[in-house]
Structure 1
Amino acid sequence: MQIQETKPIDAPEHCPGPSSETAGSASACAGCPNQQICASAPRGEDPDLPLVTERLSKIKHKILVLSGKGGVGKSTFSSQLAWALSLEEDKQIGLMDVDICGPSIPRIMGVEKEEAHQSSEGWSPIYVCPNLAVMSIGFLLPSDDSSVIWRGPKKNGLIKQFIKDVNWENLDFLIVDTPPGTSDEHLSLVQFFKNAGIDGAIVVTTPQEVALQDVRKEIDFCRKASIPVLGIVENMSGFVCPSCRNKSNIFTINTGGGEALAKEMNVPFLGRVPLDPSIARSCDFGKSFVDECPESPASEIIIDIINRVDQNLQTKKSSSL
């Protein structure tokens, strides 16, 4: 799969693209809000792209977890997806945290006190269990309270290092946890994955319209960047009582929630993950929720979502043959 070069948001129709030699100076750039950014960016293709592509080619499946809205539980879902995939001991799973300014994956995975180490083969990811490796800027900061105040080029450089300099070995799945929105980190991922291909994106939302509105923008970004949408997950979909297991709706679903949005945008709907206090507790203590609470309705739904994603990947593979 070839991913077209992503143009700046709100770019004119004949935008030359941010990597073009005429970026920021072409006639089509006049009046574009991104003109100054493109004019000051490095020209031409990144010379490290062939090495990045070679590293990524050793990974069977590459999945982005996206959401236009913050606070919808995207990192929580990414971590539980990685945990659940690792239940198959013959599969090697990687979880890459590219939320540079808000890295929560180390704590969620229970490895916040670990430090990344370098060897002759590059950075070694942190292994949560024998077949689940994690990489995050959180392992490189002097303390948990250290802030990251970076502009786009430094974020771009670190994401590139996470791909080409981390010894991921041969992974079956690389799950990429992204920050909210459609900004520097997302454009960097499109650039680095464009030759190796992205299997697709899982888009996470909550039921209320204020979240769905931003998710529409995220799906539009995926289409402009030629990233297949594997499906929408509706997170925090009702509350499951830990005692009686009854479900109560917390958010008023005025417009049909994630399922209605999936139909509207013509993408698969993967399922509803309910609010369960045990999920928050598992994340706070760095535990696998599907291991700790296998009988929970939320665990069953997460496993069902994985099966649906696997089915979608198999369908895509068959249709490409």
Structure 2
Amino acid sequence: MENPVLESVKHVVAVASGKGGVGKSTVTVNLALAMAAEGHRVGLLDADIYGPSQAQMLGIAPGTRPSMVDDQTMRPVEAHGLKAMSMAMLVDIETAMVWRGPMVSGAFQQLLTQTEWGELDYLFIDMPPGTGDIQLTLSQKVPVTGSVIVTTPQDIALLDARKGIEMFRKVNVPVLGVVENMSLHTCSNCGHTEHIFGEGGGEKIAAQYDTEMLGQLPLALSIREQVDGGRPTVVAEPEGDVAMTFRRMASRIDEQLAAKGAQGGPSISFGE
């Protein structure tokens, strides 16, 4: 890697979605915690400059600030065994980030390269939705090992998920798989199960793009309540079905990257 701060990070995994509202941040934090539960050293970068949420999801108290190594370098904040960094740790969370693209890209680069991550097996990056400035900066500046696409079975979400996959394919980043969130809902009163947002969409996309379905997650009140309360499901119910699904996804990602060898991710760009 070009930046010495990132030299000791083995794998950078971008978690992305084509649109907002599909639960990407919830998936990212639980996936990172699941990878840590598998015995790996894990960091989590919240790259959503406009709407950072990972600090709350990890139970990091408002107003918490990273300590400084020197004038240029910050120490990540540790929570639930993860090393985390987010814009929410640098500014008042009530402040609206009214910034143009170059300022957003610059903030992302600072969070990524001016954080002393130390020795990490995985650095998960919670990407903002879409294919904009942050995605462009990431593709130009960071050797990304692989990407994970989060979607729901809803047709419009699947359409946008395709755009995300196409973006990573264009810049030669392997798509490690698709996570289908809100796949089905089971009524807490009567036990009836139904596919509120449709069925089978994630599997179709995975097949279409020759990647795999990493896992399917339910639409469940408990998952939302747990991340809102700062104890994501993998921490709150480590032996539960949802946590086990995340553990299986983490193991599969680790298997894929081990099979690819230790050469790291491609240094990617949008061309000359």
Q: TM-score, length-normalised on structure 2?
A: 0.90
Higher Cα radius of gyration: 1
Matched residue, 1:128: 79
Change in 2 beyond 3 A, CA 1:310/1:244 = farther
Matched residue, 2:269: none
Instruction: Report the RMSD for the aligned CA atoms in angstroms.
Output: 2.1
Q: Does 1:198 align with 2:144?
A: yes
Moved more, 211-220 or 163-172: 163-172
| Residue pair 1:278, 1:293 contacting (<8 A) in 2 also | no
Moved more, 241-250 or 182-191: 241-250
- Structure 1 residue runs of 5 or longer lacking an equivalent are 1-48
Residues 45-66 of structure 1: per-residue CA shift (max 9 Å, x gap): xxxx94x2x3222101110001
Q: Does 1:183 align with 2:101?
A: no
| Residue pair 2:57, 2:232 contacting (<8 A) in 1 also | no
Post-superposition offset of 1:243: 7.4
Moved more, 308-317 or 235-244: 235-244
Matched residue, 2:14: 64
Name which of 216, 230, 235 aligns with 2:176: 230
| Residue pair 1:112, 1:139 contacting (<8 A) in 2 also | no
Moved more, 281-290 or 69-78: 281-290
Change in 2 beyond 3 A, CA 1:172/1:319 = closer
Residues 232-260 of structure 1: per-residue CA shift (max 9 Å, x gap): 0101110145678764322233xx31001
Q: Read off the aligned partner of 1:132 and give its amino acid letter.
A: L
Q: Read off the aligned partner of 2:28 and give its amino acid letter.
A: S
Matched residue, 1:147: 96
Q: TM-score, length-normalised on structure 1?
A: 0.76
Post-superposition offset of 1:292: 1.8
Change in 2 beyond 3 A, CA 1:318/1:117 = closer
Aligned residues: 262
Q: Read off the aligned partner of 1:124 and give its amino acid letter.
A: R
| Residue pair 1:94, 1:133 contacting (<8 A) in 2 also | yes
Q: Structure 2 matches for 1:189-268, cutoff 5 A?
A: 189-193=138-142, 197-241=143-187, 247-253=193-199, 256-268=200-212
Matched residue, 1:107: 56
Matched residue, 2:255: 311
Secondary structure at the counterpart of residue 188 of structure 1: helix
Moved more, 212-221 or 288-297: 288-297
Secondary structure at the counterpart of residue 119 of structure 1: coil
Change in 2 beyond 3 A, CA 1:163/1:261 = same
| Residue pair 2:15, 2:125 contacting (<8 A) in 1 also | yes
Identity percentage of aligned residues = 37
Structure 1 runs (4+) deviating above 6 angstroms are 243-246
- Structure 2 residue runs of 5 or longer lacking an equivalent are 265-272
Residues 107-157 of structure 1: per-residue CA shift (max 9 Å, x gap): 11111411223232711111103x311100011112x21110111211121
Q: Which has the higher contact order (CA 8 A, sep 6+)?
A: 2
Whole-Å separation in 2 of the counterparts to 1:242 and 1:126: 37
Q: Read off the aligned partner of 1:126 and give its amino acid letter.
A: V
Secondary structure at the counterpart of residue 125 of structure 2: strand
Secondary structure at the counterpart of residue 251 of structure 1: coil
